[in-house]
Structure 1
Amino acid sequence: MDVSIPRILSIETAAGCGSVALTRGGVQNGRLIAEAAVHAETSHSRQLLGSVEWVMQAAGISWSDLDAIAVSIGPGSFTGLRIGLAAAKGMVFATGKPLIAMPTLDAVALSCPLIDCPLWCIMDARKQEVYAACYGADRQQTSLAEAIRPELLAEKIAPPAVIAGPGLTAYHHLFAHIAGVRLIPPTLSSLSAAKIGLLAAERLARGELADPALTVPLYVRPSEAEVNLKKKGGCPHGA
């Protein structure tokens, strides 16, 4: 097996429509071998594993052929992230393969051309907010992901800049009027497990592995249950 061109099984369930993919290689030399769509928020973990089995069979490879398992860790749908990460951890513990944890918005950044100005990647966070993070010319994150109201983000972005990601589907009108800011259509900057896999190959080459026992979803903001508990003046068990 040529580990310089790794085979990676990846899971992306941060958005409503997720996917499972098998890729070979990294950002520069990689390719998609097989991919299947999953509805991240309604699929039980067994259905997700069924998609994994289909991808493996379609590619004609076994678990021993894999070099790593990658998963999108957020931000995104709380339910989707929990299901995806739980499935990835289960496969890691069962196979002994390394785990690569990828920030979700990195996959959006990969969809965009290399540019010489800030790139803002956004996803719909519901509750009239977006998840957003800024990237530099090398597609490296320059700001931590945050949940923010889109109108506040519009005030925060200084031109020249580019905005991309599925969050533009709902909030295109808030950013379209900003002079010096270019918008990349959501259809050209979507999320996919394939992009997670290609990015994960770069981390694998650098030895940036995640500890399955310590890896948790990147929620960015508290869950509804945590908010309600705080309003009641309580605290989680064990806190």
Structure 2
Amino acid sequence: MKLMVVDTALGLCTVGVFAVDERGARPLGLRSEPMVKGHSERIAGFARDAAGQAGLDFADLDRIGVTVGPGSFTGLRVGLAFAQGLAAALDRPVVGVSALDALAASAGEATEVAALIDARRGQVYARFWRDGEADGAAEALTLEAAAARIGTMGEGAVLVGSGAALFADGSPERTILSLDGPAPEALARLAATADPAAAPARPLYLRAPDATPPTRLLGQARGPVRVP
């Protein structure tokens, strides 16, 4: 299988083309740079460069995979829109991959893994794994709740993601991988095995957006104010 992966959910802008078979994911072309904004201006060029480096046309792709979050609202929407548009133009399946799952897959063969994304406001997005199996769903946790959960993990555990460093002082016996985004090879492996029907390319939100709809329409009169 030849597939393209797109990741704009966290601190990277990544587009990679991979050949995936029973031996794993082999990179054919890759563009990846640290980026917190400006994805929309760069992503098409990254895709063109990755395909060119691989010596392939877009029509040679069998599938497209894209991170769906949790992560930056604007960034992940850019990646999703691009992946969905390209898949529609090529008539190819597109699958969504959790950024937390892809981070965990980037941690190697550790028995226990905590994938942690710094969600600001005293929280992390987190998911935990034991023996290769997810130990519960992805969730938004307070730093205190996440620290308590990490405290139950063994000494060989790996903490991975932008939120991992937040717990470094309390986890000297654990491995800290402060990644800005998942490894492209890990994302490619997950995208290759995902069922398109069970892994839709739509945003994964674990917390309500910071912006909220207005309580009244523009020009609409305010309601009466109650005076105590």
TM-score, normalised on structure 1? 0.79
The alignment partner of 1:85 has SS state of: helix
Is 1:185 matched with 2:174?
no
1:131-165 superposed Cα distances (whole Å, 9 cap, x missing partner):
10011212x32211112222221113313262421
Is 1:121 matched with 2:115?
yes
Q: Matches of 1:223 and 1:57 in 2, distance apart?
A: 37
Is 1:151 matched with 2:144?
yes
**1:215 to 1:112, Cα distance in 2 relative to 1, 3 A:** closer
Larger radius of gyration: 2
Q: Matches of 1:216 and 1:29 in 2, distance apart?
A: 26
* Post-superposition offset of 1:93: 0.9
**1:12 to 1:44, Cα distance in 2 relative to 1, 3 A:** closer
Contact 1:21 / 1:35 at 8 angstroms: preserved in 2? yes
Q: Percent identity?
A: 28
- Segment of structure 1 superposing worse, 69-78 or 124-133: 124-133
Q: Matches of 2:77 and 2:164 in 1, distance apart?
A: 25
**What is the aligned residue count?**
214
More helix by share: 1
* Post-superposition offset of 1:169: 2.8
Per the alignment, residue 101 of structure 1 pairs with: 96
| 2:4 aligns with one of 1, 9, 12 | 9
Per the alignment, residue 3 of structure 1 pairs with: none
1:46-75 superposed Cα distances (whole Å, 9 cap, x missing partner):
421111011111111012211100001111
Runs of 4+ in 1 over 6 A off after TM superposition: none
Q: Which amino acid aligns with 1:182?
A: R
* Post-superposition offset of 1:38: 4.2
Q: Matches of 1:57 and 1:37 in 2, distance apart?
A: 15
TM-score, normalised on structure 2? 0.82
Where structure 1 has 5 or more consecutive residues not aligned to the other structure, the ranges are: 1-5, 235-239
**1:41 to 1:159, Cα distance in 2 relative to 1, 3 A:** closer
**1:63 to 1:87, Cα distance in 2 relative to 1, 3 A:** same
Q: Matches of 1:172 and 1:133 in 2, distance apart?
A: 17
Contact 2:68 / 2:96 at 8 angstroms: preserved in 1? yes
Contact 1:123 / 1:168 at 8 angstroms: preserved in 2? yes
The alignment partner of 2:71 has SS state of: coil
Q: Matches of 1:81 and 1:134 in 2, distance apart?
A: 22
Q: Matches of 1:58 and 1:169 in 2, distance apart?
A: 34
Where structure 2 has 5 or more consecutive residues not aligned to the other structure, the ranges are: 217-228
